[in-house]
Structure 1
Amino acid sequence: MFNVEIFLCQSNALPSHIKIQVTRQTLFEDSFHTIMRLPAYELRRRLYIIFKGEEGLDYGGVSREWFFLVSHEALNPMYCLFEYANKNNYSLQINPASYVNPEHLTYFKFIGRFIAMALYHGRFIYSGFTMPFYKRMLGKKLIMKDIESIDPEFYNSLVWIKENNIDECGLELYHSVDFEVLGQVVHHELKKEW
C-alpha cells in the first residue's frame, strides 16, 4: 500500500529539478536552510546536489551521499534531538530534553521533511527509529507490546503486573515516570492522584 502511494506521488512529480548547494563543512546548516526555505511540493522535484568546490554531476551517487551524510548529522544524539532507545538498542527516539534548543521544533520539522524526501526519492538514511516512533509517524495505534522492542525487561515487568494479582505485593505503583534530563532526574505524573 505504501509503495503504491509513493508511486502515485511520483507519477505526479513536478518537472525540472531543485538545486541544493552545500559545503561539507556546513552541510547540516546549508541543507537545513535550503529545505526549510522551499515549499513542501518543491521537494518532489528531481534533486540536483552540489558540493561547493567539488566537480561532479549528480546521477544519483552525489544525492545518495548527501542523504547519508545529512542523516548522520541530523540524527546524531549529540544534538540532543534524539537519543538511543536504551544501552542495548541503538534505535532512535525523541529526546525528552530536546527543548533545551529553542529551535528544536523547527529542526524536527526539517528532519520530517528530510525523511519524507528520502522516502519519496528512494534513498536510505543513516539510522533507524524505534518501532513506536514509526507507528506514530504512520498514525498507527500504540499497544503495550510495542514497548518490548525498546525495553524487553520493562515490558516483561508490565506483563507480569497485568497478569497477576498485585494487591498483596506491596509494589507501591504510581502513575508517574522518572527520567534523566541533562543530569537531573525529572518526575512526571502520567495521571493525577484522585
Structure 2
Amino acid sequence: MTSVLLVPVKRLTLAKTRLDVPASDRYRVARALMRNTLRTAAHAAGGTSLAVVTADEEVSAFAAGLGAGVVLDTTADLNSALEQGLNELIAADAARSVTVLVADLALLSPADVHWLHREATATSQPKHVSDQAGTGTTAVVLPAGHRVPMVFGPSSAERFRSSGCLPLDGAPLGLRADLDTLTDLRRLGIPAA
C-alpha cells in the first residue's frame, strides 16, 4: 500500500488573515511557515510521497523543487481544495492512504513527521490531530478506502470528531503548534513585532 502526505497551501497573499499584522508581514509569515513545513515533510517523508494542493505559483515551484507532486487548486477555499486534491490522488491510486497536514506548523520537525507516518500506517480508521488549543485541526489521517469531509478552520476538531474521524492522541508539539493568530505567536514565544 502506498501513502501520500497532502499539504494544502493557500495563495500566500491571502493566507494568515486571522494574524492581525500588516499584509506584507502576513505574506512573509505564510511563506516562511510553508517553506518550513514542506521542506521538513519532504526530507522526512521516507516511503511516503509528498503532494501539495495550491493555486500559488511560488508555492508550486517550491514544492516541485522538493520533488513533491502539485495539484493545481481550482476552487475557492481550503476545504474545497483539499477535496479536489484527495479526489485526484485517490483517482490515481485508490489503494493509497492519505494524510493531510496543514502548512503552518512553526515547530514541525522530521521526528514529528515520522511519528505521524507511524501512526497513519498503524490505523484502520480516519483520525485527526487537534491543534495546541484543542479546537482546531492540524492533520487528518485517511487510511485507504476511507474518506471524511474536509472541515478545516476554527473549531474544526469537533467537526472532524462528529464526522467519525477519531482523535489521534499523543501527537508531539510540532504537529499541534499551528500559527493562526497573535495569541498563537505568544504561545510559541515568538514576538509579534
TM-score (norm 2): 0.22
Higher relative contact order (CA 8 A, sep 6+): 2
Q: Whose helix proportion is higher, 1 or 2?
A: 1
TM-score (norm 1): 0.22
The structure number with the bigger radius of gyration is 1
